[in-house]
Amino acid sequence: MNHAEEPTTKLGEFIRQKRIEKDLSIRKLADLSGVVNNTIWRIEHGEIAQPRPEILTAIARSLSIPAADLYALVDYPSLTKLPSFGAYLRARYQEATPSQVAQLEGYFAAIAQQSGIKLDGPEPGEDEF
């Protein structure tokens, strides 16, 4: 498997997982996002190597997840936000299983809660000098 295929497989698996968690069919996600249902199917099955950013943004919006999470899985830079910790782990450590990523996310969330760290990041302007 070459490098271009692996992120797409991770992307497809991630989108499918989020779609199922929201109890959406491919057709319903297509209706909500304005993305053709065949395109969503092809992304989920790894047939589209790097969907255009506007497609990823529409899908992310419809799934109520940050577009940066999807961008990270196909190595697109996000101009406005960093990906969530889980998306970062999936993109950076592609050999990690979903179970391992979930364990790391849980561990990170527990540490953040103990330390009073906000997991949704800084407020606008809070991290600017």
For residues 29 and 41, the answer to whether their CB atoms sit within 8 Å is: no
Tokens (6 digits) for 86: 């889980």
Distance, in Å, from the CA atom of 128 to the CA atom of 109, rounded to the nearest integer, reads 25
Chain mean pLDDT for the chain: 83
Pick from 87, 38, 90: nearest CA to 60: 87
Q: What is the pLDDT of residues 20-68, one digit of tens each?
A: 999 999 999 999 999 999 999 999 999 997 899 999 999 999 999 988 8
For residues 44 and 26, the answer to whether their CB atoms sit within 8 Å is: yes
At 50, the amino acid letter reads: Q
The answer on pLDDT for 127 being more than 90 is no
Pick from 42, 79, 82: nearest CA to 59: 42
